[in-house]
Amino acid sequence: MGHSIPIVSALDGVYTGNLLLHGARYQALTEAFIETYGVMPDFIARAPGRVNIIGEHIDYCGFPVFPMAIVPDCLIAVKAVDGSSVKLSNINAKFAARRFDYQPDGIVDIDQTVHDWVNYFKCGYRGALEAIANTSSPVGMQCLMDGSVPISVGLSSSSAFVCCAVMATMKANGKLLSQERIVETAVASERYIGTNGGGMDQTTSIMSQPQSAAFIEFSPMLRVTPVRFPSTTPPIAFVIANTMVESDKAVTAPTNYNLRVVETRIGALMLAKHLNISEHSACANADPLTFKTVMDEYFASSYPSDRDPPVLKWTKRLTAMLERAEALFATHPQGFTLDECADYLSISASDLSRIVHTDRFPVRADRFKILQRAQHAFSEALRVVKFRQVCESEDTSDGCFVALGDLMNQSQDSCRDLFECSCPELDEICKIARRAGSFGSRLTGAGWGGCSVHLVRQDGCENFIATLKQEYYSRRFPELGDDELKNVIFATSPSSGAVIYVFD
């Protein structure tokens, strides 16, 4: 049956902290809607951004991740109207108002070559109508958006927008599906804009619970386990610091994000053949085949009576798969050409491209660095499991800070050296942060710019932030004032997931 999106008429279950400030924002959005359209909205859909604490670029490998929702979010005020036209405006004047009409053939046109903000809404609109099987007579919609998630910095502003659009469209059409179905719909929807994501961002935005991070498993089925951070004295705090280097995931996808997806997918195909399980139905029928599926099938067939406790099982399996992957891919430390991969799999290069969907998600590369990508994926998954283990232990000593921080630092090293998704600015801000008292510092999100996340003592947050302002921002961006910096570097805590706000 699944869990329902919460329908709320008060904000105390959505936000903590200054409820008056949040209430004023909702009121301002409502008043702006009335000014724009001349009527009250029916409801406001809310989907938060997220910060990934650890587990980067492994959701699309099928492995678990450890993010948390954050307070910055996407709000869309909506009024269902007669007809089938959709009008979309934005509180931010930078984004011009848009209008599109429902099309019986294809629902809506989405031009991936034009990077227009309305495309993210169109993705959610199309996916939602397909999911609720209403592709013949959808209602018209008047919408006004207010987004507080920084754009192109790794905090999932685009996924929050798509999630919000999915919910808004479903609610306006009278059929709001379960959280699980909305996640599934949002993941599929975002692919209409050309991003081949794995599901972490959408799951976190939709299914997070207040005061908890989320241990998210994707295979063999979606499962979200709320995990609280250890009750240390002083408490653990996380600081998000934006490098101010923008990296638009959709724009750079062929050489960055989508390329990494393809490298792991080809790696999974080759590893399955190396382990003599490629013809097993679990692998042969998988689309896509992931490292997690390969690992599960290998151990299911080789060790069917494995009854180890969960953490020990994860540790043994991930360590063993890392060793086998290194044995296979180490023959080509500089990478494989597409033809070399196809030859190993005994298929044509065109068939391999079709299997890993480069027809839908084009990539550009002379060589695929499968060894390094596999090393990162298996070792990062192991770090996620260990991170959860520390959080759920009864250790509240200083050793807890050190253990969690070490795992975050190792993750950054792997993202920089093996997955090659860091950048000089991210490396610099992490070094400064560790000198300033961070126990663990790493990039968060897709990387190649964007934000970093730092584990600190709560009572040291103020001094920590002041040091980063002085040693990073004042040197690189002296034009930024205090008000601007409040949205560039800030402490955060786990937020609740998506809701529909209705008026009393």
Catalytic residues: 201
How many Å apart are CA 126 and CA 109, to the nearest integer? 9
140: nearest Cα among 7, 47, 39: 39
How many Å apart are CA 490 and CA 242, to the nearest integer? 9
Residue with tokens 């609740």: 496
How many Å apart are CA 357 and CA 347, to the nearest integer? 15
48: nearest Cα among 203, 195, 181: 203
Residues in CB range of 469: below 8 A, 6 or more apart = 485, 489
How many Å apart are CA 233 and CA 77, to the nearest integer? 41
Tokens of 53: 């604490």
Strands of 440-443's sheet, edge to edge?
440-443, 451-457, 236-242, 489-492
Tokens of 211: 């005061």
Exposed / middle / buried, residue 60 (Cβ in 10 Å: 0-12, 13-18, 19+): buried
How many Å apart are CA 216 and CA 224, to the nearest integer? 5
